[in-house]
Amino acid sequence: MRPAPTILHLDMDAFYASAEQAAKPSLRGKAVVVGGLGPRGVVATASYEARVLGVHSAMPTAQARRLAPNAAYLVPRFQLYRSVSEQVMELLGRLSPLVEPLSLDEAFVDLEAGGAADDSASARSTGERLRTAIRAVTGLSGSVGLAGSKMLAKIASEQAKPDGLVLIEPGTERELLAPMPVRTLPGVGPATGDHLRRAGMTTVHDLAEAGEDELVRLVGKAHGHGLYRMALGLDDRPVVAERDAKSVSVEDTFDVDLHDRVRVRAEVERLAVRCVERLRAAHRSGRTVVLKVRRYDFSTLTRSDTLRGPTDDPTVVREAAARLLEAVDTTGGVRLLGVGVTGLADFTQEDLFAQAADARELAERAREPEPERQAPESGTEGPAAEEEPESAEQLAARRWPAGHDVHHAVHGHGWVQGSGVGRVTVRFEEPGGPVGRVRTFRIDDPELTPADPLPLVRDPVDYSSWPASLPKSRSGPVSAAGEESRP
């Protein structure tokens, strides 16, 4: 535990939804839901306007539509989110060499390591200047927590939401934590929370009073010891600049169960290529290929194949994943497929072509012994019929995802509001501009093409000399947790 609140936790506010609101003037101040829009879609992020209506992340999109039928439902634009995340992470990197990203919109920063703060006053000043810089560069808001440990800094940023800053003074940790529910502590999920509640422990104060021995008896030695330390506000985990990823994976959930083995194999191969793209983007390679299959009855199977050495060759990964699929029974249908690579390394097998050839040979051998299957007798239940080809509406939804960018030869830049009945509706507007007009086109209009996202801020502030050049913010009112500031 540090004597000064020099660990900062930044959490961007409703990141995906806020980015969409900033990019689309017509959605400012309105309920926005970003996620999968199909029958099995799940909410990734909801704007604060949608949260008031009961919508939250990880909720089925179908349920969200019932709660907020008038919200804007958009397909994620990860190209935009990654671009904004890079801008934010660059700002954090100017504060300290020790930045620990947790996701695109969340990170810890060791301010002391970068000389950006050494006491409460300097830490708070740096946090406020960071929030100012983020808004100037990205147009978005982020909440900042400051404390002497990572656990408390994250708790502080949660208290600061939305668009605020909370500083927890060292020495006040136990008093602050005592009345909070046990689910506030990291690692206490629904199951552990229910187990503790049945034992009469609902607040962090209850955990501290129970003692370490009782918590060990209830939840086990490792978890009980850590839980007791957290209840006392103790957390000595350092900020780690580079978190070593253990695996890289991609997966897709399908709106309709897949029955055709040819289609299933094609989807597996497509996922394998996407997985390798992520692997190469991270400048890594992997030795073990993992296939994940969730069947129609929600049963989930995983199969893995360990190669002779690490690789980032798409042919090797694709053929290994296809080989694994041969050993999986997909009778009845498949609702989810995933391909991953584990055993990561920062180098690759030298003889990749030989390895790919070996993989092809093994795949052929795996197919050869399989006897031919006879057609089922009349009146008996046979394999599921081939799936019907996608309808024009399904193809349109794939080509024109709701919320994605388009460009029209006459009307310029816009975004898809929706598609159906052979038409696609587009609102023509740009970030920072006025609310745009809506027009409808045929889905095959030659003048309408997909486009890349535009920057959220047209003329961002030059932050090359940041943080020294940015003015300090005025102090806000003092809260029970320390110092808090909101515009």
CA distances from 41 to 34, 76, 390, 464 (A): 10, 12, 18, 41
pTM, two decimals, is 0.77
Instruction: Tell me the three state secondary structure of residue 281.
Output: helix
DSSP 182: G
Indicate left, alpha or beta for 314 from its phi (over 0: left) and psi (-120 to 50: alpha).
Answer: alpha
CA nearest 254: which of 467, 62, 39, 439?
39
Which residues are CB-contacts of 276 (< 8 A; sequence separation ≥ 6)? 312, 313, 314, 317, 318, 341
Which residues are CB-contacts of 50 (< 8 A; sequence separation ≥ 6)? 17, 31, 32, 33, 64, 68, 71
With vertex at residue 464, the alpha carbon angle to CA 462 and CA 470, rounded to the nearest 5 degrees, is 70
CA nearest 352: which of 249, 271, 280, 302?
280
Please give the pLDDT value at position 481: 46
CA nearest 483: which of 239, 177, 204, 125?
125
Calpha distance 319→461 (Å, rounded): 48
* Amino acid letter, residue 92: L
pLDDT confidence band for 375 (50 / 70 / 90): very low
For the chain, what percent of residues have pLDDT higher than 70? Answer: 85
| Side-chain half-sphere exposure of 251, counting CA atoms within 13 A | 17
Q: What is the mean pLDDT of residues 335-347?
A: 88
Instruction: Tell me the three state secondary structure of residue 389.
Output: coil
Q: Sort 487 into a burial class: Cβ within 10 Å, 0-12 / 13-18 / 19+.
A: exposed
Calpha distance 253→268 (Å, rounded): 12
Q: What is the mean pLDDT of residues 337-346?
A: 90
Alpha carbon of residue 150 to chain centroid: 20
pLDDT confidence band for 81 (50 / 70 / 90): very high
Out of 99-113, 188-202, 231-245, 337-351, least confident range:
337-351
pLDDT digits (tens, 9 = 90+) for 173-187: 999 999 999 999 988
Q: What is the mean pLDDT of residues 17-41?
A: 94
Alpha carbon of residue 146 to chain centroid: 23
Out of 133-142, 249-258, 313-322, least confident range:
249-258
CB 313 within 8 Å of CB 276 = yes
Calpha distance 304→264 (Å, rounded): 17
Catalytic residue list contains 106: yes
**Which position among 49, 106, 112, 484 bears the catalytic label?**
106
With vertex at residue 301, the alpha carbon angle to CA 298 and CA 306, rounded to the nearest 5 degrees, is 160
Length of the chain: 487
